[in-house]
Amino acid sequence: MASQISDMKAIVKRAAEAAGFDLAGVAPASDAAELKYFPEWIAAGHAGEMKYLEARDDRGDLKRSSIARVAPWARSVVVCAINYNTENPYSTQVRDAERGWISRYAWSQDDYHEAVLRRLKQVEAALRQAMPAEQRPALTTRSYVDTGPIVERIFAKYAGVGWIGKNTCIIHQKKGSWLFLGVILTSLELAPDMPAPDRCGTCTRCIEACPTDAILAPYQLDSNKCISYLTIEKRGSIPEEMRVGMGRHVFGCDICQDVCPWNRKAPVATAPEFESRPGLVNPALAWLAEMSAEEFREVFRGSPIRRTKRSGLRRNAAIAMGNSGNKEFLPLLDQLVGDEDQSVRESADWAKTRLLTSVEE
């Protein structure tokens, strides 16, 4: 039986490689020590408005704090990772005041959820196919890409895919942190891999570089202060005290990864789905702010950028213009002050005041 389990694990890893994943490993479907901090994180309000993270079972316990609450049948977690890095510059290397920043993961031709899930399904099918025919009916599997009530990065650590960095991202010593994660829960008990050792050492560059102080301490993130959360998940107006720190970010933020030494030699992705869409690397702020509903639907069809909605993207673009130091945006901001969307109006008014009262950067 042990030999069979070992063979099955090898089959899974070969299937992951054949599906295009860069890394794959197996973690036990047990509650890791890190999960005990999740309820404390939620109780402190650090999830912001992301209520889906607070999903609870019938007893009122947080689902994400224990895998047994959502998948009591699971014995192993297969974790796969794929690189999405590109040859384009990092956000810390660009200075064009007329342009904003969209996070690296959202430049792609495909929504990463679908691109990664397609590959996971191949691995899942290979796992099922490798089982003896008479045992297949008893096998249970579930694949997730950011959609399941589990904390993927913790299982990624215990699957040996990478360690959890001080910025809370998974980091691999050769691949860096530009990684999409996908997991397969299975009722099959596979031999787990060794957990990845933490190689952050004494480095605190990610903490020091965060312009909004979202990384409260090593491994502790307050979503309410995170630029990614503010530009994507936050609805309505963004708190004024957070706007200056957002700089020219309009969707997500890469700063804590851009400054990470482990990303200096991060390889470029080979998956065609993750090639950059034209215009999304350092997009023109005026273009985003004036985008019609029809153009938004057309440009961002199949893109994760749809999550922020057109109103959120235009709100973010207005704030970015206020932080640009470029007074040529004033006529456009005058127009946006009369916009039908309240958050766009209010952000544009703030941006006008900032441009008129601050020294040009």
Residues that are catalytic: 146
Q: What is the 3-state secondary structure (H, E, C) of the chain?
A: CHHHHHHHHHHHHHHHHHCCCCEEEEEECCCCHHHHHHHHHHHCCCCCCCHHHHCECCCCCEHHHCHHHCCCCCCEEEEEEEECCCCCCCHHHCCCCCECEECHHHCECCCHHHHHHHHHHHHHHHHHHHCCHHHHHHCCEEEECCCCCCCHHHHHHHCCCCEECCCCCEEECCCECCEEEEEEEECCCCCCCCCCCCCCCCCCHHHHHCCCCCEEECCEECHHHCHHHHHHHCCCCCCHHHHHHHCCEEECCCHHHHCCHHHCCCCCCCCHHHCECCCCCCCEHHHHHCCCHHHHHHHCCCCHHHHHHHHHHHHHHHHHHHHHCCHHHHHHHHHHCCCCCHHHHHHHHHHHHHHHHCCCC
Contact 275, 85 (CB under 8 A): no
Q: How far is it, in rounded angstroms, from Cα 352 to Cα 361?
A: 15
- Single out the residue of 160, 215, 154, 205 nearest to residue 23, CA to CA: 160
Q: How far is it, in rounded angstroms, from Cα 176 to Cα 180?
A: 11
CA atoms within 13 A on the CB side of 181: 28
Tokens 């054949």 identify what position?
18
- Single out the residue of 210, 253, 244 nearest to residue 90, CA to CA: 253
Would you tell me how many other CB atoms lie within 10 Å of the CB of residue 179? 26
